[in-house]
């Protein structure tokens, strides 16, 4: 039960606030169906149901966006994560999620000073030769100030907002419990996998709270990009970097959104910039398996010499070797091998409830076949990925989180490339990179290394096999062999049986009160009330009250079933 497992009274107050926002934005019926309003009332918290109809007239995607904005940083970040899940949400939802921005005022420096003194060991004016008290930028989790080291290096100081970690952790606890409750009580939400989405979001947000972890990710990508001198990653100054603060080189360049400034007179070649940006991100994805998952214009700067700087590594995607191998198999898309692509996509999505596998495979093959004969210069990877997402949504299938981030990065990258150069074609840049990786993967030494790794794993399994069989047989002889069976709705059925048993017990109590009171009414003497034996009268009164409660409980249960 959600209410019974809340950690603190503060969590209970925050839950009331969340549900109140849901009611105001037209989701009161959902709150009722989850039973949360009644449970809050029993815990001494009452919801305000007024003004609910005024805000319920807009479209559902707009309702959700407005509610997320009102609920604060954690929920805004959640909506931003959902903006990358085109495999689960239609274009109208994605368009609204993409409008979510953390519109928050900056924290005054005086409020930051205690935390800065603790992390830096002194006042910022002492640690730095110059420290700008006016923030360069402010977001929901952190804000950025410019500064200068005593050696003369210009840097940015990223400072986490005081108390934001506690607020976000509390909201994550509530989100995880609400997601579990919604998945159990609202079958219509199951295709959206609420618990998986919240788990993915919580993991991403906890990483983003660790500003030192962001720097470690930046340094890892910088090491991978060392072979590309035209790619710049800000240097980290570890002497001043902690979990709540990081210090990196200041990037003085042209922001990614200022396309008008990228002129030949200023020394920029937009075609070269588009190609170099694509090559860098493709290297991160295909070769390294660690990539910037949010390469939008705000995280990119263009520098003289047609160099490109990437900043803000709070959101980083990772691809296992297996995923990268599957990406290589998608080479069949541009080499016109529909069955190879269909096999990979079906492996990615897996089987869902009620999945018509034959129909899905037919649609995937038709999707791949429609690109047969299309020249690379006319192939839009962004549109292709959007088509794949539409097929997955139709069959209520979702991609694994790492692939959802990959699709988001690809679509952002292709959009940036075409803004720089209308003649940019992502497929033209992708094919040479994939071919190079394939050639590297199938070199004799690479094949020998993988074969030896496979042999070692097989030998290790064979070595452990006798012990595993011995333990299995020993447990079987002792009657300790167990088989786990998971029944998804068993808890819900148990709760229904428990409620029915409670009502049956109450009915027996009412019957006993009526019978007992009838007997007491026939006994003369004793105290009276309104001319009737007092104990008999009180017994009948208690039976009436309990009966009214029982009728109300049965009516509400039937009403909720009708709503379902």
Q: What SS3 class is residue 15? A: helix
- Integer Cα distance of 41 and 154 in angstroms: 56
- Integer Cα distance of 76 and 96 in angstroms: 12
Catalytically annotated residue among 87, 294, 312, 343: 294
Spatial contact of 6 and 12, defined as CB atoms under 8 Å apart: yes
Q: Give the C-alpha distances (Å, rounded to integers) separating 260 from 22, 256, 268, 420, 422.
A: 42, 10, 11, 10, 14
Beta sheet of 307-310, edge-to-edge order: 231-232, 307-310, 300-303, 254-255
- Integer Cα distance of 6 and 3 in angstroms: 6
- Residue 212: Cβ-neighbour burial (10 angstroms; 0-12, 13-18, 19+): middle
Place of tokens 């160099």: 307
- Integer Cα distance of 417 and 277 in angstroms: 8
Place of tokens 């050696």: 151
Name the token pair of 308. 């490109």
Spatial contact of 228 and 133, defined as CB atoms under 8 Å apart: no
Q: Is 132 a catalytic residue?
A: no
Name the token pair of 364. 């995937």
- Integer Cα distance of 36 and 331 in angstroms: 50
Cβ atoms within 10 A of the Cβ of 207, count? 15
- Integer Cα distance of 331 and 455 in angstroms: 28
First to last CA, the chain: 20
- Integer Cα distance of 225 and 111 in angstroms: 38
- Integer Cα distance of 397 and 180 in angstroms: 19
Spatial contact of 170 and 11, defined as CB atoms under 8 Å apart: yes
- Here the contacts of 212-218 (C-beta below 8 Å, separation 24 or greater) are 212/241, 212/242, 212/243, 212/246, 213/243, 214/246, 214/312, 214/313, 214/314, 215/241, 215/246, 215/248, 215/313, 217/290, 217/313, 217/316, 218/248, 218/313
Strand 307-310 relative to strand 231-232: parallel, antiparallel, unpaired?
parallel
Alpha helices in 299-400, H assignment, sequence order: 321-329, 331-334, 338-349, 357-369, 381-394
- Integer Cα distance of 473 and 122 in angstroms: 65
Among positive and negative, which fits the CA dihedral 379, 382, 387, 392?
A: positive
Q: 536, 532, 509, 531: which is closest to 520 by C-alpha?
A: 536
Place of tokens 């794949």: 388
Name the token pair of 500. 């029915």
Catalytic residue positions, numbered = 294
């Amino acid at each position: 039960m959600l209410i019974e497992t809340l950690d603190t009274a503060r969590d209970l107050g925050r839950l009331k606030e969340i549900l109140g926002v849901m009611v105001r934005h037209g989701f009161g019926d959902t709150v009722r169906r989850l039973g949360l309003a009644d449970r809050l009332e029993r815990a001494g918290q009452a919801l305000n149901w007024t003004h609910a109809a005024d805000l319920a007239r807009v479209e559902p995607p707009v309702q959700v966006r407005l509610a997320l904005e009102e609920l604060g940083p954690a929920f805004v970040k959640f909506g931003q994560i959902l903006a990358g899940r085109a495999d689960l949400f239609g274009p109208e939802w994605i368009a609204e999620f993409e409008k979510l921005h953390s519109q928050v005022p900056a924290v005054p420096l005086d409020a930051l000073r205690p935390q800065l003194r603790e992390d830096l060991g002194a006042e910022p004016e002492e640690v730095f030769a110059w420290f700008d008290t006016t923030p360069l930028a402010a977001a929901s989790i952190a804000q950025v100030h410019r500064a200068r080291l005593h050696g003369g290096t210009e840097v940015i100081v990223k400072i986490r907002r005081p108390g934001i970690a506690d607020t976000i952790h509390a909201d994550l606890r509530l989100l995880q419990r609400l997601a579990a409750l919604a998945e159990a009580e609202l079958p219509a939400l199951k295709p959206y996998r609420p618990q998986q989405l919240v788990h993915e979001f919580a993991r991403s947000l906890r990483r983003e709270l660790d500003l030192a972890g962001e720097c470690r990710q930046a340094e890892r990508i910088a090491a991978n990009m060392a072979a590309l001198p035209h790619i710049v990653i800000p240097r980290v100054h570890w002497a001043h970097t902690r979990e709540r603060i990081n210090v990196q080189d200041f990037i003085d360049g042209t922001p990614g959104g200022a396309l008008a400034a990228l002129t030949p007179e200023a020394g920029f070649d937009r075609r070269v910039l588009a190609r170099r940006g694509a090559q860098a991100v493709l290297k991160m994805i295909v070769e390294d398996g660690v990539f910037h998952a949010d390469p939008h214009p705000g995280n990119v700067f263009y520098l003289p010499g047609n160099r490109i700087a990437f900043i803000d590594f709070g959101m980083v995607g990772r691809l296992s070797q297996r995923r990268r191998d599957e990406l290589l198999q998608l080479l069949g898309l541009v080499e016109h091998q529909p069955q190879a692509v269909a096999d990979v996509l079906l492996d990615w999505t897996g089987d869902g409830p009620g999945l018509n596998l034959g129909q899905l495979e037919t649609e995937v093959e038709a999707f791949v076949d429609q690109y047969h004969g299309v020249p690379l210069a006319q192939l839009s990877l962004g549109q292709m990925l959007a088509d794949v997402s539409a097929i997955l949504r139709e069959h209520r299938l979702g991609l694994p989180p790492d692939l959802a981030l990959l699709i988001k990065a690809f679509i952002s990258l292709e959009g940036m490339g075409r803004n720089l150069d209308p003649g940019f074609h992502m497929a033209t840049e992708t094919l040479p990179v994939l071919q190079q990786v394939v050639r590297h993967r199938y070199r004799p030494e690479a094949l020998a290394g993988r074969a030896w790794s496979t042999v070692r794993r097989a030998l290790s399994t064979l070595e452990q096999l006798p012990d595993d069989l011995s333990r299995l047989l020993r447990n079987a002889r002792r009657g300790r062999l167990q088989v786990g069976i998971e029944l998804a709705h068993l808890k819900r059925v148990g709760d229904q049986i428990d409620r029915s048993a409670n009502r049956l017990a109450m009915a027996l109590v009412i019957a006993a009160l009526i019978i007992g009171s009838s007997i007491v009414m026939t006994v003369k003497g004793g105290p009276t009330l309104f001319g009737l034996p007092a104990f008999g009268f009180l017994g009948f009164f208690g039976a009436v009250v309990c009966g009214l409660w029982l009728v109300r409980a049965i009516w509400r249960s039937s009403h909720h079933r009708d709503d379902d």
